[in-house]
Amino acid sequence: MNLKTVVVGAGGISNAWFPPLIQEGIEIAAVVDLNIETARAQIKKYELKAVASIDLEATLEQHRPDFVIDLTIPEAHREVTITALQAGYPVLGEKPMATNMDDAREMVRISTDTGKMYAVSQSRRWDKNHDILRRTIESGVIGKVTAINCDFYIGAHFGGFRDEMSSPLLLDMAIHHFDMARFFTGADPIAVYAKEYNPVGSWYKGDAAASCIFEMTDDIVFTYVGSWCSEGCHTSWNGNWRVIGEKGTLIYEYDKAPYGEVVESDTTDFHRPLKKADITDSPLEAFGMHGAICEMIDFLKTGKTPQTECKDNIKSLAMVFSAIESAKRRQRILVEL
């Protein structure tokens, strides 16, 4: 079965989507963008047999795709996704789902009411190292997880929409790290205390740095320290992670393979003897957006629910908005869906 899609939004990130779509043999019937020249340029660049359009509804009616891919800016996700769902098409959209919880809840409700799948691409779930870390935690090698920490420091000069957003780090970047914390541990958020701020000398209008402490299910504490306005000594874009369990610790830093140490034997020594942790391998073969596309293909062919289906993904988004709210109120906030 050859699947057909319509891609909405032909900006920077579409360069990460067209190659795997082509690789999977998905017919790209149309590329829709507010700026027709942007759509035309991407069609030409990827030698697509697609039409360029600025009118989503008319395009959907004309081409009747199997699913829609939403790669627009976060502010447009609600409108594009709801238009597609209500017209009867499943949607695979870029993160973040929406720019506020009311919009996200409405999107989830419309997905439920229409019975049309809406999955959010959290590209970092489809990464070999991330899958290895998740599987290693799941193997129980470090015992029950008690804490997970992520440090993220990048001095990123984007220009464009991120410079204008009120919470660029938390909404446009930390959503990845928050979702990764859920992916790694399988735990969900309960409450958060956060401090969001814009460092002196920042080139962003909104707050580009934050420190957050999340209480997660299973008595796990997730501590996040991040900045998009931090010059020098960068971490990787995935952040540097430490996962602490009852029996040992796992480290994932600078995109290098995860490793760890676990207690070898219980002794009365000040430091207990340690050994290398057994790391569980990953069978993952499709990475980043390709992984998200494969899960959508799987859903369309077999009905298997994608892991980032909107009812689940809204939990990661709720972490973002609860952190923003906590920072605003200077209080611990329950993470509500």
Residues that bind ligand NAD (CB under 6 A): 8-13, 32-35, 38, 71-74, 76, 79-80, 94-95, 123, 160-161, 172
Pick the closer one to ligand NAD by CB: 6 or 244.
6
Per-residue three-class SS string for the chain: CCCEEEEECCCCCHHHHHHHHHHCCCEEEEEECCCHHHHHHHHHHCCCCCEEECCHHHHHHHHCCCEEEECCCHHHHHHHHHHHHHCCCCEEEECCCCCCHHHHHHHHHHHHHHCCCEEEECHHHCCHHHHHHHHHHHHCCCCCEEEEEEEEECECCCCCHHHHCCCHHHHHHHHHHHHHHHHHHCCCEEEEEEEEECCCCCCCCCCCEEEEEEEEHHHEEEEEEEECECCCCCCCCCCEEEEEECCEEEEECCCCCCEEEEECCCCCCCCCCEEECCCCCCCCCCCCHHHHHHHHHHHHHHCCCCCCEHHHHHHHHHHHHHHHHHHHHCCCEECCC
CB 34, CB 59: distance < 8 Å: no
Cα dist from 30 to 55, 59, 228, whole Å = 10, 7, 34
Least Cβ distance, residue 44 to ligand NAD (angstroms): 15
Please give the Cα distance from 328 to 332 (Å, whole number): 11
CB 124, CB 179: distance < 8 Å: yes
Please give the Cα distance from 167 to 325 (Å, whole number): 11
Pick the closer one to ligand NAD by CB: 141 or 171.
171
Closest CB to ligand NAD: residue number: 11
Pick the closer one to ligand NAD by CB: 277 or 293.
293
CB 30, CB 6: distance < 8 Å: yes
Least Cβ distance, residue 273 to ligand NAD (angstroms): 41
Pick the closer one to ligand NAD by CB: 8 or 310.
8
Pick the closer one to ligand NAD by CB: 74 or 248.
74
Least Cβ distance, residue 279 to ligand NAD (angstroms): 25
Least Cβ distance, residue 331 to ligand NAD (angstroms): 28
Least Cβ distance, residue 233 to ligand NAD (angstroms): 22
Structure tokens, 80? 């594009």
Least Cβ distance, residue 75 to ligand NAD (angstroms): 7
Pick the closer one to ligand NAD by CB: 101 or 250.
101
Least Cβ distance, residue 236 to ligand NAD (angstroms): 13
Pick the closer one to ligand NAD by CB: 72 or 198.
72
Pick the closer one to ligand NAD by CB: 228 or 244.
228
Least Cβ distance, residue 93 to ligand NAD (angstroms): 8
Pick the closer one to ligand NAD by CB: 227 or 308.
308
Q: Which amino acid is at 300?
A: L
Least Cβ distance, residue 315 to ligand NAD (angstroms): 18
